[in-house]
Amino acid sequence: MKARKIVLTSGKGGVGKTTATVNIGAALAKRGHRVILVDTDIGLRNLDLVLGLEKRIVFDLVEVVEGRCQVRQALIKDKRFESLAILPAAQTRNKDAITEDQMARLMDELATMADYVLIDCPAGIEGGFRNAVAGADEAIVVTTPEVSAIRDADRVIGKLAERSIPMRLIVNRIRPDMVRSGDMLSIDDVCEILSIELLGIIPDDEEIIDTTNRGEPLVLGDYRLRSIYEKIVRRLEGDLIPFTNLDAPGFFGRLIGALKAG
């Protein structure tokens, strides 16, 4: 059975695509799936760094496509998991180095070796985006509840819709205190504007900074955000998991709409 090939994209940079790719991938692997993460940000690779595997890179995506090595030689297994591997991007090349066809064929090859192939897309909607999307059957759009991120997500959603790629939304870095005080767009606002199915709501949490600095996926420790990612993964698998209530029930909670996460 072939893998699901899912691209994580956003348009805007810095909203948490790579962090989400790593943490969703790790959570899937923890549940026993075979997972391959692919970094398509040629020239500005970071997936390796966020997973703490940067010292083990020998070959990269471009070298595989150019036939200079086998796929298996380029894949780096994360020893903390049964079946999690990454295919790193090239650092000293640019995004012209591979074509959409080559990407599509490579992703198909990876799909014979795993249950999930998660493709980390670079910022933007040009060549890097087109390459990343060429190899995918589904998309996860990542945004934050900020004006420019949502505008860019809208653009990306348009591009994905043109290609008829089914997509779901993760809203990252929501700050319930700011939503409550009216200083931040709410999840409902974001969903109303973007109108695609919600996959996950991730609150802003400082533990992300530390874990990404150290290259440690959240599922490996006792982190607050761990359960959020576990729920996202269950939803990806097809379960209907309700979103966690971030608020204790209270007057405003009931009145305006309970703030949810998860």
Partner 1 sequence: MTLNDVLTRLNSLFGHQKSGATAKERLRLVLMSDHLSLAPDMIEAMKRDLVEVVSRYVEVDRDKIEVRFEHQDSVFAMLANVPIISVNRTPAPPTGTPRRRRRRRRTAEQNGQAPQSTINPAPAT
Partner 2 sequence: MLPLRQPFDVAQSPAAVPVNLGRAIVITSGKGGVGKTTTTANLGTALAKRGANVALVDADVGLRNLDILLGLESRVRYHLLDVLEEKAELDDALVRDKHCPNLYLLAAAQAREKDEVDTESMRELIEELRERFEYVLIDCPAGIEMGFTNAVVGAQEAIVVCTPEVSAVRDVDRVVGLLGNAFAPKLIINRVRPHLVRKGKMLSVEDVNSILRLPLLGVIADEPEVIVSTNKGEPIALRTDSQTAKAYHSIAARIAGEDVAAPMVEYKETFMDKLGSLLGGRR
Q: Is 200 helix (H, G, I), strand (E, B) or coil?
A: strand
Q: How far is the CB of 172 from partner 1 (least distance, A)?
A: 17
Compute and round to an integer the Cα radius of gyration of the chain: 18
Q: How far is the CB of 145 from partner 2 (least distance, A)?
A: 9
DSSP-assigned beta bridge partners for residue 9: 141
Record the tokens describing residue 61, joined without a space.
């995506």
Tell which one of 77, 108, 196, 215 touches partner 2 (CB under 8 A): 215
Rounded to whole angstroms, what are the CA distances from 201 to 38, 85, 204? Answer: 23, 26, 10
Between residues 61 and 153, which has the closer beta carbon with respect to partner 1? 153
Q: How far is the CB of 53 from partner 2 (least distance, A)?
A: 11
Q: How far is the CB of 151 from partner 1 (least distance, A)?
A: 6
DSSP state of 251: H
Is 151 near partner 2 (CB under 8 A)? yes
Give the Cα separation of 134 and 102 in Å (integer).
9
| Biggest alpha carbon–alpha carbon distance for the chain | 63
Is 165 near partner 2 (CB under 8 A)? no
Residues making contact with partner 2 (CB under 8 A): 11-15, 18, 43-44, 46, 49-50, 54-55, 91-92, 94-95, 122-128, 146-148, 151-152, 155, 175, 178, 183-185, 206, 209-210, 212-215
